[in-house]
Structure 1
Amino acid sequence: MKIAVVVGNPKPASRTLRVAESVADAIEKLLPGESAERQVIDLADYSSRLFEWPEPTLAELNDAVAASDVLVVASPTYKATYTGLLKAFLDRYPSNGLGGVVAVPVMTGASADHSMATEVNLRPLLVELGATVPSRGLYLVMTRIAELDQITAEWGSANAATLVPAISGRIESRREVTRG
């Protein structure tokens, strides 16, 4: 199973990155028979190149994300939506550029006031790019960061019925292509 984690926090090694990796851990636990290969992309490390065209490193990152089975996309909440950093990265994809990838939207924020941003803003962007978004996303109020592992484990359990079949189907489809 190939898991890509993309984080659009302008601060490197952010708490949002920690949340995204915890979600990826929860997803791995849902499919214990699958070995997992994970690529973490902290967009803060590439911010100075996001608006350069062509940019070979970013093209490689985009290709790796599009080839993944699972994509965890995370952003802090800025003005009730995701960051421009994340949007700039995702804008590099053509229509249906994430076709077949199972995506999980994740957002963090200072209060629950913007908790619908995950479903109202980030989910539609991923769907527009062709990703399959079979489960609810996760919004974490950062005052609860000490409970992170418990929250993501509960999120994984609550969404397993839709995530597991979607991810298993994506993995099997990719295996058939490589066999065929």
Structure 2
Amino acid sequence: MTFKLPEEISFKRDGNQYIFRHKTMGELGKLVVTGLGKNTHFASFVSGNEDDPMTLKRKEILEPITTAMIAEVEKQTKAKDVVGIDPKSFTPKVTKESYNIVAKHIPCAKCNKIVGHLIFADDATNEGMFEDYYRIAFPKIKEFNVPTWIIGKEEINPASNIISYNKKVWPEKENAIKIDFKKFNAMLDHLHFNHCK
């Protein structure tokens, strides 16, 4: 193919699906090609929820890529979509993935109201992977509407102190950082004990 992806975008093929990822935004969505030949049909899907602002950003990046890729496939194979490209097929859709997301709530010590939300992502080692967890957990993150962190892979330094790769994602996103667990727990204790003061 003469079509080239932007440097920050990669894809993998899974049967008749082409799944696209962004280096820092995680999974963008997919292009599904069925019945290549006389009964060809193309459909594009953006990963995410309609009320997640990031979904629109994923769509803005993904749509020109899949449009160009469809044109390239049609050029190379002489195939044409039997129903034409339907703009409505380019709709947000939650992608089913094999993540087993574990979460924990931090309650107020006095009123027991949820004041913090932790999402454990033991395999997350980069911004793109954190974004995958954020995207999948977004409905719950929005529902709880409390400070939320995604806790990534842990490591133990020579002093036997646990360090984790963390990213705060709510109410505002911050860059992922490596943080001493003692400092992080002290911050959570502050939420736990000071909510009702």
Q: Normalization by structure 1: what TM-score?
A: 0.31
Higher strand share: 2
Q: Please say which structure displays the higher CA radius of gyration.
A: 2
Q: Normalization by structure 2: what TM-score?
A: 0.29
Higher helix share: 1
